[in-house]
Structures are given as C-alpha cells and as structure tokens.
C-alpha cells in the first residue's frame, strides 16, 4: 500500500504529461519516416520534409495563415483596446450592457459565426476570399481582446490618467504615455490570444473564405484522401516553432523576475 | 481682490445627482500659505481640491487663480500640481522618469531636466534612487517620489490629497515635519486635504474645517482649537466637553446650577449657549475646594496623561491630567475662567446635532 501511494505520488504528474504529449511525440516521430499510411514504421527518413518543402500549395496556405493571423491580431488589438477604454469610461449601467454585448460572440458556436459570415459576404456580393477571411478573423478576435484588456483597466487607477493631465498631458497624450503603458500586459495577452485563435481557426475560415486556404483548410482538404507524410512534417514543424516561442517568452519573464528580485534584495540590504 | 490672494473660490456649489457635495463655498487662499482642508469623509474636502486642480467642474460658481478665471481651464493648463492619495505613480517608469515626466512634456533640454530632477530628489531625500523602479520602493519612498514629481514642475500651488494616509503612524509623523520643511524650502502654497485633526494642527498656517459641504470655520490652528465656532468644530478638533449653559451677562455664565466667570462677552442677557471645556483645561482638586463635585467613574491611561471621567450628577466631564486618581474617589473639579469657551447655539438644527444630543443623554 505504501509502495503504491509512493509510486502514485511520483508518477502522477508524469502520467498526466505523458497523456498530454504522447500524441504529439508520435506525430513528430512519424514525420521522420516515409510511409503513405501512419500505421507502419518504415525506417528513418527525411522524405516527408523533402516533400513538404517541394509542395507549393502548403506554403501558400502557411503564408495565408501567418499573414492573416498577424494582420488580424494587430488590427483587433488596436480596435479592441480603444473599445475597452471607451467601455471602461462609460457610466455603470451602460458599461455593463455594452460589455456583455461585446462578450456574447465568444460563446456563439463557430459554426454559426462562420455561416453567418458566409451569408453576409454573399448577400453584399463581397468576393475577395482573402479579405473575407481577414475581416472574419478580425471580427471574431475583437471580443477576446476586449476581454483581456478590461480586467487590466479595472485594476488601473483613473488617478493615473488624472496625474498625467496634472503634469501637463493633453487627454490624448495622457492616453498614449500613461494609460496604454499601464494596461500593456493586458494588451499583449490580448494580442497573443488573438494570434493563436486566428492561426488555429478552421470552422469560421472554411465558411467565410470561399476557397482561399489557410493551413487548417489545406490539411483538411487533402486529409480526406488519407494523411500524406508531409502533413506530419508540417505539424511537427508548427509544434516546434510554437514551443520555441513559448520557451523564449517564459525565459524572458523568469529573467525579469530574477532581476527584480535582485534589485529588491539590494534595496533591503541598504 | 488683493494681490496676495492666489486662489479664490466664489460661490462654488457641486451637486452629484441632487446631493450637494459642496454648498456655496467662498474661500481665498493666500500666496505661500500652508492651508488645510479638514473634515470627516464625505464633507466635500476632496471635491474642493479636485475643483482647484481642474479634474472636477463645479455645478455653480467660479474659480480664480492669479485674478484670472480658470473655472473651465483643463488641468494641464493650470499651474497647479497634485500629490494623489495613493500616489498614482507611473509603474512603467523608473524614479527619474517619473519625476522628469512633466519636464519632458515641457520640452526642456536634457541637461536642465537632469539638473532639476537631481535637485528635487535631493530635497525629498531620494538621491541615488534615480534608476529604481517604483514598485521596489517602500510606501514612504513612493510618497516622496510623488511629491518630487509634482514639485519639480515649479507649480504655484501644490495640492495634496491625504498624502500620508497610507503610511504607518511613525512614518506619518516624520513626513509631517518634512512636508512642512519642504514647503518652507520651496516657498509655494500648499493646499492639504486630511481628516486627521492632529496632522492639520501640526502643519497648517490656516485650517478650513468643513462638514456636509459647508465651511464651518476658517482660522489658524490655535484659533480653531481654542475658539471653535460651533459644536461640530469643537467635537472634531481635539476632545472636548460640550455643555449647555446660560450667559447671564458679559463674563458670567451659569451651567449645571453653578455660576462661573468666563472671558467671553457680547451675548444677549440670559442667552442659551454651548460651552466648550477642553479636558486638559480642567483640574481635579480635593473635595470641597471648588463648587462642582463628582465621583470618578473611569480612568484610562493614555501614555502621556490619564483620561478621567468625573460623574457630577446628570452629566460627565472628561478630564486629562497627569495625576492618577483612583476610580470611586469623590473629588471637586476646578474650571478657571479661561478654560470656558462660549459658543452661540446653532440656529438651525442639523442632523449632526441631533446625533450629538442623543449621545449626551
């Protein structure tokens, strides 16, 4: 009994991690073998990667995904931040109302959002697939940006804005020099959220874009005939890129925390 | 208008959805004085400060600064700077950039900015802290940064909104002395908001006592303490015994069945009045050596003195004395003429006085 509990104690976290990461490791593993189906291991090979880099259609999709994610995240972050500042300065009852209305699309099923975009674009005769996808992405990102910026605004004191004006800022300069830097962590997490959601999206893009592929649409369309090995390679690469970014971000914040601690200790010892 | 009136408030009223936060305020502030707005929370003192700073517009009335009307001038065009209650420092900037914030907006040369920031940091005893982040500073240090950030802009008036309320008692005492020193060093007008009467008495040249949106009394700390104009001021500033009495004639007042000499005059014959007797002005003497007698019901040790309650039939008198007298002892209480301060009864009965009367019973 004791042994069992000790075993569980030490292995529980390991099991959870294994559970979470096993599929991805299998995927990465199978990206290094060249087989038409994923069921059989056929020895080490970079064939999948060679095929991946030779396949032009993949890179069109990747380019679409990345440019749309960046543009949509930037535009949604700017629009959402100003919207949040506006909502924050409203009187209480209006603020609650508008805030709830802006949060509603987050719980709306993607399918509904996607189909309504399709109908809207068709109805007004807007045909550019790329722009359709971009506009759809900006729109579904907006509530998430507002959602990440609002709590930060609530924490921030109105006195900061007043202090800036007191020291000679016009309202606009007070906003850019004091209010926005103060809520920057919220803006950044809103941007990251928007970027991730956008690069991930399949359902809304599928209905809104009318034939222009992003990564997920491309993978879905060719996966219907069995998953070719270069898709494994693409997925593995995407995972590595995202994981690397995550590690860099985390290392940076750890470093900043350490610096702050060192400074604080210096201060105390004085 | 006299030329040394730096700021004048004329018939200022501020309403918030029907409630009057300020009710027809008239006040002038002289150049170079340390003026304190003192009152309980909700008395309108902070609203008044915000109107002077320009953050709040009055519903009625006018604000003058240097003989020019500034009622609707925005805060960034007023030569006034504010030290906020919770400092409102810019967390994304270090100490130097916080202090230099206003100067950079004025497009001063880098050298001049560095010079002025260094000087002001020296004044507030924060030399060597330029590169520190604000969140790494203690409460007292943040306080100094907030003062430096405001003072460095050379304002005509420095507004301070309960700046010491977040500090512990010992630090607060130290900062009171330092604030006064800074004010004398830079020689500009300070308008200071507080609910702490001790703070007000320590630092101010002039105290404005406020309650329920109205000015109760304006005067020097000594005036306010020794000659409170009404019950509210007497109760709010220091501790006091407030007793109803009858002014028999000039320099003679009667209360609780005894007649006393006093130093006040100018009342109607037999006018009903309120008397303020400060607990430290009363002496406990052996039984029979003064007309008023009673029994000691309570003794509290306060550090420097004892707070002793003497029950003299029907009413209790608070006495502060350094001599310990045991509970239960029968004593007499000596009240000398200059210990009695006579106030006119208020004409209208406000909510406050009703509460006070209930407490007395």
Domain coordinates of chain A in residue numbers?
61-228
What is chain A's mean pLDDT, rounded?
A: 86
A262 has pLDDT over 80: no
Question: Residue B355: its pLDDT value, please?
Answer: 45
Q: Indicate the domain borders of chain B.
A: 5-226, 240-360
B88 with A157: Cβ contact below 8 A: yes
Look-up of token digits 């996966």: A223
Distance from CA of B77 to the nearest CA of A (A): 7
Of B294, B292, B284, give the one whose Cα is nearest residue B325. B284
Within B119-171, strands assigned E span 157-161
Q: What is the mean pLDDT of residues B57-78?
A: 91
Chain A residue at shortest CA distance from B50: A162
Contact between B12 and B60 (Cβ < 8 Å): yes
**Helix crossing, B169-186 with B139-151: angle to 10°?**
20
Q: Which chain B residue has the Cα nearest residue A169? A: B76
Residue of A166, A182, A267 with shortest CB distance to B81: A166
Residue A253's pLDDT band (boundaries 50, 70, 90)?
confident
- Average pLDDT for residues B324-338, to the nearest whole number? 90
Does the structure show a pLDDT above 80 at A79? yes
Q: Which CATH superfamily is domain A61-228 in?
A: MetI-like (1.10.3720.10)
Mutate to test the interface with B, among A89, A91, A155, A167 (most CBs of B within 10 A): A167
Question: Cβ contact (<8 Å) for A264 and B136?
Answer: yes
pTM of the model: 0.78
Residues of chain B with a CB closer than 8 angstroms to some CB in chain A: 53-55, 74-76, 80-82, 84-86, 88-92, 101-102, 105-106, 132-133, 135-137, 149-150, 153
Q: In whole angstroms, how far apart are CA A34 and each of A43, A45, B82?
A: 8, 6, 71
pLDDT of res. A135: 92
CB-CB neighbors (< 8 A) of A267 in chain B? 132, 136-137
Give the closest-approach CA distance of B278 to chain A in angstroms: 40
**ipTM field:** 0.80
Which residues of A touch chain B, with CB atoms under 8 Å apart? Answer: 157, 159-160, 162-170, 173, 177-178, 181-182, 184, 260, 263-264, 267
CB contacts, 8 Å: B90 with chain A: 160, 163-164, 178, 181-182
| Interchain CB distance below 8 Å, A163 and B84 | yes
What is the residue-averaged pLDDT of chain B? 88
CA-to-CA dists, residue B228 to A217, A247, B36, B62, B207, angstroms: 82, 68, 16, 29, 12
With a cut of 50, say whether residue B333 has pLDDT above it. yes
Chain A CB contacts of B55 under 8 Å are 162, 165-166
Query: Which residues in chain A are closer than 8 Å to B161, comparing Cβ atoms?
Result: none
Minimum mean pLDDT range among A212-226, B160-174, B280-294, B345-359 = B345-359
Dihedral class, residue B163 (left if φ above 0, else alpha if ψ from -120 to 50, else beta): alpha
Task: Give yes or no for residue A150 having a pLDDT over 60.
Answer: yes
Per-residue confidence (pLDDT) for residue B257, from 0 to 100: 82
Say whether B75 and A157 touch across the interface (CB within 8 A).
no
Between B232 and A270, the more confident residue is B232
Domain spanning B240-360: CATH superfamily: Nucleic acid-binding proteins (2.40.50.140)
Is residue B16 pLDDT above 60, yes or no?
Answer: yes
For the ranges A10-14, A202-206, B101-105, B217-221, the lowest mean pLDDT is seen at: A10-14
Q: How confident is residue B289, by pLDDT bands cut at 50, 70 and 90?
A: confident
Q: Which residue of B has its CA nearest to A260?
A: B136
Among B82, B90, B106, whose Cβ lies nearest the Cβ of A160? B90
Residue B125 pLDDT grade (very low, low, confident, very high; cuts 50, 70, 90): confident
* Inter-chain residue contact A166 with B150, CB threshold 8 Å: yes
Chain centroid to Cα B179, Å, comes to 15
HSE-up of residue A252 (Cα within 13 Å, Cβ side): 6
Decide yes or no: CATH 3.40.50.300 for domain B5-226. Answer: yes
B149 and A167 in contact by Cβ < 8 A? yes
Residue B256 is predicted with a pLDDT of: 83
Indicate the pairing of strand B19-30 with strand B315-321.
unpaired
Instruction: Extract the tokens encoding B12.
Output: 């200022």
């Amino acid at each position: 009994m004791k042994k069992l509990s000790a075993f569980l104690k030490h292995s529980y976290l390991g099991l959870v991690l294994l559970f979470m990461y096993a599929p991805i490791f299998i995927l990465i593993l199978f990206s290094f073998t060249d087989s038409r189906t994923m069921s059989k291991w056929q020895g080490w090979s970079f064939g999948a990667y060679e095929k991946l880099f030779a396949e032009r259609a993949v890179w069109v999709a990747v380019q679409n995904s990345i440019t749309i994610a960046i543009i949509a995240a930037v535009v949604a972050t700017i629009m959402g931040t100003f919207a949040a500042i506006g909502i924050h300065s409203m009187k209480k009852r209006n603020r609650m109302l508008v805030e709830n209305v802006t949060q509603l699309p987050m719980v709306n099923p993607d399918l509904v959002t996607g189909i309504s975009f399709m109908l809207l674009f068709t109805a007004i005769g807007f045909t550019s697939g790329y722009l359709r996808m971009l506009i759809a992405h900006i729109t579904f990102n907006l509530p998430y940006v507002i959602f990440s910026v609002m709590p930060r605004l609530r924490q921030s004191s109105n006195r900061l804005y007043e202090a800036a004006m007191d020291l000679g800022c016009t309202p606009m300069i007070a906003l850019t020099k004091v209010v926005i830097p103060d809520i920057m962590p919220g803006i950044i997490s809103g941007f990251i959220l928007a970027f991730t959601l956008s690069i991930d999206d399949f359902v809304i893009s599928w209905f809104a874009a009318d034939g222009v592929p992003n990564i997920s649409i491309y993978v879905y369309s060719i996966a219907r005939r069995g998953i070719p090995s270069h898709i494994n390679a693409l997925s593995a690469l995407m995972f590595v890129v995202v994981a690397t970014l995550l590690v860099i971000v985390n290392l940076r914040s750890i470093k900043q925390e350490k610096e702050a601690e060192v400074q604080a200790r210096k201060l105390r010892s004085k | 208008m006299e030329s040394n009136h730096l700021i004048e408030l004329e018939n200022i009223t501020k309403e918030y959805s029907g409630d009057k936060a300020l009710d027809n305020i008239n006040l002038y502030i002289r150049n170079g004085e340390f003026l304190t707005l003192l009152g309980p929370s909700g008395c309108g003192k902070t609203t008044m400060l915000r109107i002077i700073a320009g953050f709040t517009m009055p519903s009625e009335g006018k604000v003058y600064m240097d003989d020019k009307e500034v009622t609707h001038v925005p805060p960034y065009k007023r030569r006034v700077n504010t030290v906020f209650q919770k400092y409102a420092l810019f967390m994304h900037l270090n100490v130097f950039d916080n202090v230099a914030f206003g100067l950079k907006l004025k497009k001063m040369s880098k050298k001049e900015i560095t010079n002025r920031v260094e000087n002001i940091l020296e004044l507030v005893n924060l030399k060597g802290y330029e590169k520190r982040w604000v969140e790494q500073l203690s409460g007292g240090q943040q306080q100094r940064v907030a003062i430096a950030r405001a003072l460095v802009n050379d304002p005509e008036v420095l507004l301070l909104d309960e700046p010491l309320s977040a500090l512990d008692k010992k630090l607060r005492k130290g900062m009171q002395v330092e604030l006064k020193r800074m004010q004398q060093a830079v020689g500009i007008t300070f308008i200071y908001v507080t609910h702490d009467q001790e703070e007000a008495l320590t630092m101010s040249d002039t105290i404005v006592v406020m309650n329920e949106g109205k000015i109760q009394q304006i005067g020097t700390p000594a005036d306010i303490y020794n000659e409170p104009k009404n019950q509210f001021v007497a109760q709010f500033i220091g501790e006091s015994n407030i007793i109803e009495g009858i002014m028999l004639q000039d320099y003679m007042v009667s209360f609780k069945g005894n007649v006393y000499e006093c130093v006040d005059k100018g009342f109607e014959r037999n006018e009903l009045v309120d008397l303020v007797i400060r607990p430290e002005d009363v002496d406990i003497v052996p039984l029979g050596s003064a007309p008023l007698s009673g029994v000691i019901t309570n003794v509290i040790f306060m550090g420097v003195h004892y707070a002793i309650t003497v029950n003299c039939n029907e009413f209790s008198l608070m006495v502060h004395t350094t001599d310990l007298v045991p509970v239960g002892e029968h004593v007499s209480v000596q009240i000398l003429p200059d210990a009695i301060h006579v106030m006119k009864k208020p004409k209208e009965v406000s909510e406050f006085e009703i509460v006070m009367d209930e407490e007395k019973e």
